[in-house]
Amino acid sequence: MEYIFVDFEMNQIDNSHPDELKICKNEIIEIGAVKLDDTYKEIDSFKTYVKPGITPVTSRITNLTGITNEMVDDAPDFAIAMDRFIAWGLSADVIYAWSENDLRQFNRERKLKSYNNPDAQKLASKWKDFQKEFARMLGTRRRLALSDAVFYLGEDFQGKEHDALWDARNTAEVFVLSKNREKFEKIMAPIMNAYKPKENMTYSIGDVFGNINLPE
């Protein structure tokens, strides 16, 4: 059994490309992933920057991720980067990402760029949203940020947030910690209790004031 944990960093397509925006609002500019074996040990990793083909990296994204236009100038384009990622990751039994956004981006961008790798859909079919699974473990529909999940489990976030490889690695860490069910439930008990549905808090005026005799 092999598990892959993947993360994409993305750059927004600007408003001067309305036709492209109808299909996809972002372009992937970094792919990071780690591969675990059936003992949940990391056995390999993958990282590449991706050169955007429509909109240069914006200052907002640079401030968020640290990725500059100089860093992606000589990077492979979407098709080459995805070919490499698919070749690396196709052997996995399941692919996890934190949230559904990465799979949505993968599907939309390959449509936008007419990407026709025959193994792309096979890879997509293995994709799962671990953020959703984690919320289900807590008994809630609320989606937690990855950094919050790491914090609640009593761990320090490894590396830098919004670095694709480190985000993927931290997702894997949360997954591994969740596999020790007894430890997980002990650590997360206060959070799980906080997310339990509250009792119906609907009262009538009579319930609140009882049989108080109000002055006429």
Confidence check: pLDDT of 46 > 80: yes
- The pLDDT of 38-42, averaged and rounded, is 96
Which pair of structure tokens corresponds to residue 152? 């609640």
Token pair in block for residue 96? 């996890």
**pLDDT tens digits, 130-152:** 999 999 888 888 888 999 899 88
- pLDDT band at residue 197, thresholds of 50, 70 and 90? low
pTM metric for this prediction: 0.86
Residue corresponding to tokens 């070919």: 83
Domains of the chain: 3-194 (3.30.420.10)
How many Å apart are CA 169 and CA 191, to the nearest integer?
23
Output the CA torsion 158→160→163→168 (10° steps): 10
- Of 3 and 202, more confident: 3
Task: Say whether pLDDT at 181 is over 90.
Answer: no
Query: Hunting for tokens 């299909």 — which residue is that?
Result: 23
Cα angle 198, 131, 172 (rounded to 5 degrees) comes to 135
**pLDDT tens column, 9-20:** 999 999 999 999
pLDDT per position as a tens digit, 48-92: 999 999 999 999 999 999 999 999 999 999 999 999 999 999 999
Mean pLDDT calculated for residue range 31-46 = 97
pLDDT: which is higher, 35 or 137: 35
Residue in the structure block whose two tokens are 């890879």: 123
- For 96-125, give the DSSP string: EESSSHHHHHHHHHHHHTT---TTHHHHHT
Q: What is the pLDDT of residues 91-109, one digit of tens each?
A: 999 999 999 999 999 999 9
Tokens 């984690």 found at = 134
